[in-house]
Structure 1
């Protein structure tokens, strides 16, 4: 009774009563005095009635009601008393009435409602005052408002003050006549696509509404446009025409029959209308197409020798349609094409007649089709076009103006072909200058005897012919030492080809007006000119990876052997061919030619790295801290190195690197010693005197060879797992001992589900982890996949393979750790032992992947030791924690 008296004075004293000693009577007394005492009530005494009583007296008590005891009435009472408690209401009780009541009292509570639910809350019965109050609180909430005249008027009022508000309007409001008319009057509409849909039997206008502009947070010089797109549809041609203010330029209307419509009453300039319809109305003038046919001048010599791309050819796609690896920065995709011959394509397409507008539309279609052939375009990819795009300059203008709508112009690299020299029909130097100015205006890189270098993966510099020839070898190397993309480009010319050269192939005015002998002689001069540049670059940058982009094949302007480090890409002869070997790499296999119907892009990948020490002689070199950091940046190695003291030595032997530092490790160290540099960390060495530098240099080649031999077996097992994961639709990325399972999403960029392949026994541990401190370990891959939504597709594929073809499942030995857990499918696990081993293996993998030795174990110089590990397929003896220094102490 004394306890009850105390609780009647202060219900919060219930906190001091152990839950096992609480009674229903005590709990009720406490709650009657202070409903917030509900938080201390023992679960055995609690029921819905007690909770409801508490909430009736004080809505804040709702915070302490267990989920299974919550009722709709409690939710209503709680939100009525404290609107912000809407955030505590379970989703199944968040009725429209409860939400609206909360919002009326506090508009900020709308943030506690799911986005899907927000669209259901507001309708024709919602007071405009409440709508105005909500929008004033958060302009972005305008999108949830109903499509009503007063809401449209509200939107117009907001746009008059700040037009950027337009992007937050509801979708139905965006396409309403009132809004579009207002926006058009303000000049904010851009008609991006005007066309007739024969299936819908409607005229369509795709509209871009430009809301404003802002500076990029990454580059204050870059202006980003704020816009959105809508589509308006019309059943009547006159309404369509009126909406466009009589501007039908680029309107695709070929599928509309214009029955009963006299086109002479309309402005049809630039409209794409079927030539048959125009002819029937006496509006077709065939002189434009006739001129194209007359001036075609098809090169029959080339045409008769074409190796055509099959009409049914399916162009390969570099990445999956789900955009996996779209943002992979380790590799650069280079797409390529040549000999598109737009003039021939146009004549093949239309044959008898075509309007200027039909031809323009078709050329733009070809540009779009070419880009669409690759599906999803990978990040930072380049497009290389090796000449003969068109022999009519006007077609070139149309094609490239359309192309830059779909591809970053700064990453399009073009060289002319002999057909480009036909038009404009001026001297070659003037022709090239016209193309230079045209491409410069679009932002496209145009090369004619030029060298393109992309420094530090962002700054593009073009060295002209004169600059290349006057620059010393050392200066040229210094200019490109931080370049991962180097392209030498030009027509190349065919002076060394005795059969096909300027004596019988057209090269424009500068050649056409000469005798055959003089034309060939000039061809030889131009070929020698490009070869001189090529030879200079080869002498300077022979160890770099250079792409030689020419219209004409190398043998027509240089007969020396190919540089095996370089990539050669050409067109011209329509003899589709490629070779990838130790001797040379040639891509000349996407020459579209005169007659092929397909137009698409092929591709190859190059590593996105560079080597600032590529031209250093083998030996021991003292380098600076900045050089060490620059080298790792070039090799795409993420690291942080802050040590200011010490002398850094770079050991180079046969393109293999080892970095050592001679320093006093800490203030407690007795003196200076040699340490191995493992990125930003230091590793202990048994031989750590300065004079031991020669020992490491002498053994570097042998050590690297043994590491490669050793990891070959281990990585082979990982690789099989990786391929199976990819087959299921997963990532399969290998790093250290770990194979990533699910593909990373675009925002976070990494996986949470992994397979750990133990180097000691080869057994696999499937696990899920957010960090390196703990993980959930699963008994097998199947269980891991079924436990996580991010692996749902993979799990379904696994079950299908398991059912249809069990023999295709890899034989995997799982960690014996699960045997101790009896029937548990998964178990929480702590410790970082997995990652310690993995870090060591990853350090060894730098040797095989980056040519950098980042871990040194003296035992790996012993052939018997290496052979024994190889034969047993175990590498446990190289996993030695003593080789690592805790990075916290660095």
Structure 2
């Protein structure tokens, strides 16, 4: 259903009782309009005056949430020029008072005006303009254009560009996405499928021709469809300036989350089948109060044994160390001799070291001597898991009740 809610709000899209992460978003800030209160043209103000107003609005934005530590998505149309956009992101990512989490951004059609909204100058190429915005961004801000950002195994962040995505096979890209704990696809998107609001009516000033608008839309759609074929079952966030209907006529993927702006008509789509489309925090032209909206998703930890069926497996030391590191389990190393085994049942693991002198349960890098054979623990693991879950069930229920009550009062 379509709806719109005023004010800061975080929608809960998490599906488990585990840890979750809040992701905030805002689009269409249009600084030239938002900073112009009391002045007909913000660019006639001195640079110190402009920066002071930017700082004031950024402070207003950050104080709309209790903890500026999550992930922040900015969906384009921040400003019409590189200089003003750079100033905004400098203040947003300020070390002292700025956003302390990760910031991901895409450009909008207004950025492509390149400081020339009337189209009086000879336009530069789109790629040249985009490169200037990239260079002007603070190092803490990641700008995406036809790119896929992944947190590979939860250990490092990688960005796959358009050529890499399209040049990879579906199997190769799927293997990368399977091993990633966070996936974000970003770009302007463009408007080649919109019959009215497209390059013909001046959305991009003179920077984008109608033919290039169509071409750029097709390029983003090709990337989108490649990622969809490779990671359709994963949680992927699609951050674009234009809404999906502008560059693709396919159905929304219910596993994915879509964030966009551009229309200045705030809408929210949350369907029972899981479709989630957030276009409801577009600021627009009229000077107004800034606030963030957001959604929470499950924090995915990389598990090298996730695809393994229940059973017992002989594993390598490297696999065991990787499992502990990616699950956030401290360990000093793994220098003990012997064979390593992983016992798995219903998502629960038990790791055993079969050494020369004894059989040991492994807790991180620590050993605890076992009294029975490996088969004994494999046979009794289902019963152990059931009893442990039953024992903790009242505690989990109490925590869930408290959590729901906190959410009711805006926590």
TM-score, scaled relative to structure 1: 0.38
> Quick check: 2:108–2:188 contact (8 Å CA) kept in 1?
yes
One of 118, 125, 133 as aligned partner of 1:427: 125
Corresponding residue of 2:219: 529
Corresponding residue of 1:599: 290
Corresponding residue of 1:689: 375
**What per-residue deviation string (whole Å, max 9, x for no partner) do you get for residues 14-70 of structure 1?**
xxxxxxxxxxxxxxxxxxxxxxxxxxxxxxxxxxxxxxxxxxxxxxxxxxxxxxxxx
Q: 1:435 & 1:410 partners in 2: Cα distance?
A: 21
Distance verdict in 2 for CA 1:554–1:710, change over 3 Å? farther
Q: Does 1:588 align with 2:279?
A: yes
Q: 1:352 & 1:566 partners in 2: Cα distance?
A: 40
One of 242, 245, 254 as aligned partner of 1:555: 245
Q: 1:525 & 1:399 partners in 2: Cα distance?
A: 30
Corresponding residue of 1:634: 326
One of 158, 164, 173 as aligned partner of 1:461: 158
One of 5, 22, 26 as aligned partner of 1:333: 22
Following TM superposition, by how much is the alpha carbon of 1:657 offset from its aligned partner in structure 2, in angstroms? 2.6
Following TM superposition, by how much is the alpha carbon of 1:423 offset from its aligned partner in structure 2, in angstroms? 1.4
Corresponding residue of 1:715: 396
Q: Which segments of 5 or more consecutive residues in structure 2 lack a partner in the other structure?
A: 12-17, 116-122
Q: Does 1:645 align with 2:326?
A: no
Counterpart secondary structure, 2:200: coil
Following TM superposition, by how much is the alpha carbon of 1:603 offset from its aligned partner in structure 2, in angstroms? 2.6
> Quick check: 2:234–2:256 contact (8 Å CA) kept in 1?
yes
Distance verdict in 2 for CA 1:470–1:582, change over 3 Å? same
Following TM superposition, by how much is the alpha carbon of 1:449 offset from its aligned partner in structure 2, in angstroms? 0.5
**What per-residue deviation string (whole Å, max 9, x for no partner) do you get for residues 304-359 of structure 1?**
xxx987xxx543599xxxxxxxxxx9544322110111122244552488842244
Corresponding residue of 2:120: none
Distance verdict in 2 for CA 1:721–1:418, change over 3 Å? closer
Counterpart secondary structure, 1:493: coil
Alignment of 1:231-310 (within 5 A): none
Structure possessing the higher relative contact order (Cα contacts under 8 Å, 6 or more residues apart): 2
Corresponding residue of 1:404: 93
Q: 1:604 & 1:505 partners in 2: Cα distance?
A: 33
Q: 1:704 & 1:554 partners in 2: Cα distance?
A: 44
Alignment of 1:618-767 (within 5 A): 618=309, 622-638=314-330, 642=334, 643-649=336-342, 651=344, 656-660=346-350, 664=354, 667=357, 688-689=374-375, 712=393, 715-717=396-398, 719-720=400-401
One of 611, 614, 633 as aligned partner of 2:302: 611
Counterpart secondary structure, 1:562: coil
Following TM superposition, by how much is the alpha carbon of 1:384 offset from its aligned partner in structure 2, in angstroms? 1.2
> Quick check: 1:335–1:382 contact (8 Å CA) kept in 2?
yes
> Quick check: 2:7–2:293 contact (8 Å CA) kept in 1?
no
Distance verdict in 2 for CA 1:466–1:349, change over 3 Å? farther
Q: Does 1:574 align with 2:264?
A: yes
Alignment of 1:115-154 (within 5 A): none
Corresponding residue of 1:493: 190
Distance verdict in 2 for CA 1:336–1:426, change over 3 Å? same
Q: 1:487 & 1:383 partners in 2: Cα distance?
A: 12
Distance verdict in 2 for CA 1:666–1:432, change over 3 Å? same
Q: 1:622 & 1:497 partners in 2: Cα distance?
A: 56
Q: 2:42 & 2:274 partners in 1: Cα distance?
A: 50
Q: 1:567 & 1:705 partners in 2: Cα distance?
A: 34
Counterpart secondary structure, 2:284: coil
Greater C-alpha radius of gyration: 1
**What per-residue deviation string (whole Å, max 9, x for no partner) do you get for residues 200-240 of structure 1?**
xxxxxxxxxxxxxxxxxxxxxxxxxxxxxxxxxxxxxxxxx
> Quick check: 1:409–1:443 contact (8 Å CA) kept in 2?
no
CA RMSD of aligned residues (A): 4.3
> Quick check: 1:452–1:486 contact (8 Å CA) kept in 2?
yes
> Quick check: 2:32–2:42 contact (8 Å CA) kept in 1?
no
**Structure with more strand by fraction:** 2
Following TM superposition, by how much is the alpha carbon of 1:417 offset from its aligned partner in structure 2, in angstroms? 0.7
Distance verdict in 2 for CA 1:541–1:622, change over 3 Å? farther
**What per-residue deviation string (whole Å, max 9, x for no partner) do you get for residues 787-838 of structure 1?**
xxxxxxxxxxxxxxxxxxxxxxxxxxxxxxxxxxxxxxxxxxxxxxxxxxxx
> Quick check: 2:35–2:42 contact (8 Å CA) kept in 1?
no
Following TM superposition, by how much is the alpha carbon of 1:433 offset from its aligned partner in structure 2, in angstroms? 1.6
One of 328, 343, 348 as aligned partner of 2:32: 343
Distance verdict in 2 for CA 1:659–1:431, change over 3 Å? same
Q: 1:532 & 1:317 partners in 2: Cα distance?
A: 31
Distance verdict in 2 for CA 1:644–1:501, change over 3 Å? farther
Alignment of 1:835-874 (within 5 A): none
Following TM superposition, by how much is the alpha carbon of 1:362 offset from its aligned partner in structure 2, in angstroms? 2.3
Counterpart secondary structure, 1:503: helix
Counterpart secondary structure, 2:182: strand
Q: 1:410 & 1:462 partners in 2: Cα distance?
A: 18
Q: 2:184 & 2:297 partners in 1: Cα distance?
A: 12
Following TM superposition, by how much is the alpha carbon of 1:447 offset from its aligned partner in structure 2, in angstroms? 0.6
Q: Which segments of 5 or more consecutive residues in structure 1 lack a partner in the other structure?
A: 1-306, 319-328, 670-674, 732-890
Corresponding residue of 2:118: none
> Larger deviation: 710-719 or 530-539?
710-719
Following TM superposition, by how much is the alpha carbon of 1:448 offset from its aligned partner in structure 2, in angstroms? 0.4
Corresponding residue of 2:76: 387
Following TM superposition, by how much is the alpha carbon of 1:645 offset from its aligned partner in structure 2, in angstroms? 1.8
Alignment of 1:426-445 (within 5 A): 426-439=124-137, 442-445=139-142
Distance verdict in 2 for CA 1:353–1:634, change over 3 Å? closer
Q: 2:371 & 2:278 partners in 1: Cα distance?
A: 47
